């Protein structure tokens, strides 16, 4: 099993990162604030106005450490990395499979089976853990959504059309997010969820979800590149210039555990509240800088938790699961596995 390395998130505005031997040094106002050995990292993510020295960028690229630049609210700007890794034959097989409607549909079906299973796990855990504390209408709505998503999952099994599979995915998402507000157990209107909105997020829960989805997408993209797959060519998500379609495919399986469930925990445990967000003049809602640090810390802690992988039948840190799924997808594309085994949260 691969050793889990860390992602360094830099959120301090005006930070200056530079190389000192085999270390990354962070200075703020000419004062050293942090020092970290490079060998402990697999990626560097900079939010907002963070400066990185050219020698450090070059050294990270040589060591296989990607450097990603995001806006302060998590929008992707740029990525710096070294030579593309992996076998060109694997990528060529990936491209052929993406153009093969039958093979592509088989992968999409299993990705969606994993996503819908994990969505049901989120709803099921809420019913199991808090069913007696929920209002009658909340419990009924969650139970109905759980059963409806299960029925949609059954429809996926024999469906050969990718477009129809995408339609089922949209139906399940509408059902899932339609009851998401019932999972929020704190009073008040500030953190209510009235539906998914993005670009920009228009309420606080959507702002938190979008930020977490950005983090998980980054990890999925890094995992795919590490096994030699092209993150831009997906199966569920259509090709679009500048979009990491395959990373978004992989993201679908991990949304419920690494983003949705974590967001609910942060809200329900009152680690994130109304004052952690900033409402802009255009209605967009963003996480404040200190609040981003709270979310990043919780995200890193969640990734260190161990979970049993259903297919491999062994425990591993959750942070390694995108890498494991990327390896399984690569093995399927090479012909070592008859089908792609999705990530199932048990």
Sheet of 31-37: strand order equals: 31-37, 23-28, 16-20, 51-52
Q: What is the pLDDT of residues 291-322, one digit of tens each?
A: 888 999 999 899 989 999 999 888 888 988 98
Q: Are residues 95 and 180 in the same domain?
A: yes
Domain of 61 in residue numbering reads as 6-80
Q: Are residues 129 and 275 in the same domain?
A: yes
* Residue 144 burial (10 A CB sphere; 0-12, 13-18, 19+): middle
Q: Are residues 76 and 108 in the same domain?
A: no
Q: Are residues 31 and 149 in the same domain?
A: no
pLDDT at 204 over 70: yes
33, 51, 80 - which closes a domain:
80
pLDDT at 67: 87
pLDDT at 118 over 90: yes
Mean pLDDT of 32-52: 86
Burial readout 2-32 (b: 16 or more C-beta within 10 A, e: otherwise): eeeeebbbbbbeebbbebeeeebbbbeeeee
Q: Is the dihedral angle over the CA atoms 151, 143, 116, 308 positive or is it negative?
A: negative
Mean pLDDT of 264-268: 93
Q: Are residues 140 and 70 in the same domain?
A: no
Mean pLDDT of 111-129: 92
Q: How many domains are there within the chain?
A: 2
What is the rounded average pLDDT for all residues in the chain? 88
CATH number at 166 reads 1.20.120.920
pLDDT at 188 over 50: yes
pLDDT at 1 over 50: no
The answer to whether residue 344 is domain-embedded is no
CA atoms within 13 A on the CB side of 234: 24
80, 113, 145 - which closes a domain:
80
Cα 225 from chain centre: 15
Which pLDDT band holds residue 74 (cuts at 50, 70, 90)? low
33, 53, 80 - which closes a domain:
80
Residue 307 CB partners (closer than 8 Å, separation 6+) = 315, 316, 317, 318, 321, 345
Tally the residues of the chain.
Answer: 346
The answer to whether residue 1 is domain-embedded is no
Q: Are residues 129 and 244 in the same domain?
A: yes
Q: Are residues 33 and 115 in the same domain?
A: no
């Amino acid at each position: 099993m691969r050793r889990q390395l860390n992602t360094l998130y830099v959120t301090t505005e005006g930070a200056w990162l530079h190389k000192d031997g085999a270390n990354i040094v962070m200075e703020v106002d000419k004062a050293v604030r942090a020092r970290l050995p490079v060998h402990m990292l697999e990626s560097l993510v900079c939010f907002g106005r963070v400066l990185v020295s050219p020698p450090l960028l070059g050294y990270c690229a040589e060591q296989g450490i990607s450097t990603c630049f995001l806006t302060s609210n998590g929008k992707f700007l740029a990525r710096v990395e070294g030579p593309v890794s992996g076998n060109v034959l694997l990528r060529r097989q990936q491209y052929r499979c993406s153009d093969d409607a039958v093979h592509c549909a088989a992968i999409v079906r299993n990705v969606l089976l994993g996503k819908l299973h994990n969505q049901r796990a989120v709803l099921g855990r809420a019913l199991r853990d808090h069913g007696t504390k929920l209002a009658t209408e909340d419990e009924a709505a969650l139970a109905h959504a759980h059963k409806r998503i299960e029925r949609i999952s059954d429809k996926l099994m024999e469906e050969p059309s990718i477009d129809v599979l995408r339609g089922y995915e949209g139906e399940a998402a509408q059902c899932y997010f339609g009851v998401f507000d019932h999972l929020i157990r704190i009073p008040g209107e500030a953190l209510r969820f009235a539906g998914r909105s993005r670009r920009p997020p228009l309420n606080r829960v959507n702002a938190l979800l979008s930020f977490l989805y950005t983090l998980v997408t980054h990890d999925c993209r890094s995992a795919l590149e590490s096994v030699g797959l092209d993150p831009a060519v997906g199966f569920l998500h259509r090709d679009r210039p500048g979009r990491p379609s395959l990373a978004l495919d992989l993201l679908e399986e991990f949304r419920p555990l690494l983003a949705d469930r974590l967001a609910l925990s942060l809200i329900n445990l009152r680690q994130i509240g109304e004052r952690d967000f900033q409402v802009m003049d255009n209605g967009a809602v963003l996480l404040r800088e200190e609040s981003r640090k709270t979310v990043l810390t919780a995200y890193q802690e969640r990734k260190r938790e161990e979970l049993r992988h259903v297919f491999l039948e062994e425990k591993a840190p959750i942070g390694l699961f995108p890498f494991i799924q990327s390896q399984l997808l690569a093995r399927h594309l090479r012909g070592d596995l008859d089908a792609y085994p999705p990530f199932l949260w048990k």
